[in-house]
Structure 1
């Protein structure tokens, strides 16, 4: 008889875990409280004809995502068309803007134009980043991180110095580039890892390679196409999805989960994989069975929350690319508001995504699909009046950049999403949007464990455990946990 496995949550880690567990012959049931899969990567349509991805929009590390599909003898190309963006994105400064080209030789030329000698320095930076990427994303991040002995392999040991685990990212970037714009451009990818570049290990220069060198992509139809593709893969392996099904409780007997309370009914499972918010899942257990108590979570450093606006605009916006980063104000001032003072920023940085520039299917003809995102501190008040104030602020800066007038009056659809929404929709601790920060003190073995120490058949996966936040790491997390669960099931 097949072993029964419950996966709680149909985000990227849950989808991944479900696929691998079903491939191994388990009877897998995925329980998702929303009406569609994807978690933070859900998508919604409006009556006005707009199609909005709710979360992830940067398709980086395409080879890591592709490797998931290769494990099931298929390819992303079997499910959606992946477009390479050119430019990859634009970054707006008070002194002008930088447009990051698709081609690496052109990127190198751009660096040289901005700072003589920076082109050669970029080669050196990317050569080191490529090494970190190949070791980090193929060896380092695939460990379950039960203990440090997992990292004693000859390959990782010999690579330890070159991985720059003990250097901070800001100092590391400063060794290569003097121009502040180039430094900011190189520091930007780590912001959503959950801390200032001065507190993030230099190991994460691998993100620069995974983005700038491998390119920025977009799946036609929206990021949600990746979600749907992974669901199809899991279903093909035999996994069953149950939407509008909320897991509200767990019964533990003899240090084993005996059943789950789902929509008021109890169901028995041999193994449970929790892809929902780690802290929330722990609250479903009696205190004696939790890995971590409240004091632990209060001392963690979380990645940011966000203010997001989904806007349908009745006219095209000129001079705007698919991805645009507004960095006209000092990066450190905004970072201090997120991780230090924990308040709304006075001069915020923000990001604009306009997928209708690439994909006509996400907005009616001669209109624009606009997604605005501003990183925020977790656990702060986010009333509608404050949200609206920042929307107007962002639109004014967008007008200045694009030469547009009265963008607010162009809005035909508007929806905001912020800290309290992350709490209500995802049970996200403090309303975090990206999980735990990848600081040195919260890396690898120092992250929350993927196995419950007191409940034999409960596993955790997703952005609050290893390897960390982001779409590719979440997919990897699901694979790691599935492997661990399969080993346990073989012993039962």
Structure 2
């Protein structure tokens, strides 16, 4: 039986390991932290439970497929609940916008704006769905080992159908004229750490996916998915080694023969599948530049990285009447986005509040609330911020003051029972994310598809990679797809 080492027990690492076991490999996962999950992690304190990273479940079939491919019924491992309305946006002028994937409700809501916008919204969905099918069938569901697999007449023709040259915001603006409605369809590019004003228009598929496939919640929070994958993998005979810091790949003749873990050399492996953030892996796990190929330290530093996150995890003494997913928009939405990607920590940011205890009583003590407040901020490469204790405290106070402006949170500062803060520093040190970029490499045109680090590493014979910085990109559903592609590439070589 051929042996594979999986580095990192994050989303893609666990999903890859299950797929590898299903194909008959002997699989060992090495995880540097004391529990599995990577960014799909959890904080439990004083009876409050918080998801650390991802919170919104889209494309549920990709979650379910992980269990089904191993011969299990996903319903025995996770419980999924559909959320509708999907989210609410609250504006500074006290108006709100509610997003529903109920076609009747959505149409009536949009007609309140204008019939022209209601019609444009439908046209947007139809057009973007066509482009999504092209992206899925020709780009997202396949990897690219060599130039000829990407640069050929068929692929170039399909690429033209994607209409990627305009930005997401400009693409949406062709169909919808109302600015608030435009913003409601544009901000989702921040889910993968890129601006809607210069991110490729193909990322307008994100709100389309929400609207057509629904938004879901996993009972117990997103960490329940990580624990479910862990459970299934162990049932299949896999091994997970925690507190095992992989320090180096031991390479001979372009093959990884073993790995250095906590100062010791491991047994030999036939292949290594890395779920470590790709830029960090290149800088830290491959020591000799001749084995890095084009991904030298100079190249890694010059690549563009996604935004980072400033997150407050707040346990409150009382309950708050809001939707599970609520976005609070600043007046200057454009200026806020530009600040993030110009390397300036926003003075007047938009932010997102996730309240899982509104639908799952297990997430907070009775009569209390678990609130996750995320503010997009620049990564540490783009910004000079150090995020020391003084600055972290000042920005925390700023966000709490901004929350207090809204009627729903007017007494928030008087009702905080528990508070924990994550800054870009935490994402860098805890999860080995280069520059603390929460979503890995920024998905620009020149860092997407063939131009993104592929699932089969070209410069070593038996290294494969899956995760946010690898093809096809960031976001839990796409990362799950990355795991599928990486395992397919590995199996193609080792079977």
Common fold: TM-score over 0.5: yes
Tell me what 2:79 maps to. Answer: 81
Distance 1:113 1:147, change over 3 A: farther
Runs of 4+ in 1 over 6 A off after TM superposition: 152-155
Question: 1:13, 1:197 → 2: CA distance?
Answer: 26
Offset, 1:264:
2.5
Q: Is the 8 A contact 1:133 1:207 kept in 2?
A: no
Distance 1:137 1:237, change over 3 A: farther
Offset, 1:163:
2.2
1:271 correspondence with 2:276: no
Question: 1:77, 1:400 → 2: CA distance?
Answer: 42
1:356 correspondence with 2:357: yes
Tell me what 2:251 maps to. Answer: 252
Q: Is the 8 A contact 1:192 1:304 kept in 2?
A: no
Question: 1:17, 1:277 → 2: CA distance?
Answer: 15
- For 1:206-245, list aligned pairs within 5 A: 206-245=205-244
Offset, 1:4:
0.8
Question: 1:337, 1:373 → 2: CA distance?
Answer: 16
Question: 1:75, 1:106 → 2: CA distance?
Answer: 33
Distance 1:119 1:54, change over 3 A: same
Offset, 1:169:
1.4
SS in 2 for 1:276: coil
Distance 1:71 1:135, change over 3 A: farther
Q: Deviations over 1:335-358 (max 9, x none)?
A: 222221x12111111111111111
Offset, 1:369:
0.3
Q: Is the 8 A contact 2:189 2:203 kept in 1?
A: yes
Offset, 1:432:
0.7
Offset, 1:75:
4.1
Question: 2:152, 2:67 → 1: CA distance?
Answer: 27
TM, length-normalised to structure 1: 0.94
TM, length-normalised to structure 2: 0.93
Aligned match for 2:458, one of 453, 459, 466: 453
Tell me what 1:333 maps to. Answer: 335
Offset, 1:109:
1.7
Tell me what 1:485 maps to. Answer: 490
Tell me what 2:280 maps to. Answer: 280
Question: 1:254, 1:155 → 2: CA distance?
Answer: 36
Q: Is the 8 A contact 1:85 1:102 kept in 2?
A: no
Tell me what 1:90 maps to. Answer: 88
Distance 1:36 1:138, change over 3 A: farther
Give the RMSD, CA atoms, in angstroms. Answer: 1.9
Question: 1:451, 1:224 → 2: CA distance?
Answer: 28
Q: Deviations over 1:368-418 (max 9, x none)?
A: 101111011111321222222232232233333234443122111111111
- For 1:15-164, list aligned pairs within 5 A: 15-46=14-45, 48-95=46-93, 96-151=95-150, 159-164=158-163
Question: 1:5, 1:416 → 2: CA distance?
Answer: 36
Q: Is the 8 A contact 1:378 1:431 kept in 2?
A: yes
Moved more, 141-150 or 426-435: 141-150
Q: Is the 8 A contact 1:199 1:440 kept in 2?
A: no
Question: 2:459, 2:82 → 1: CA distance?
Answer: 46
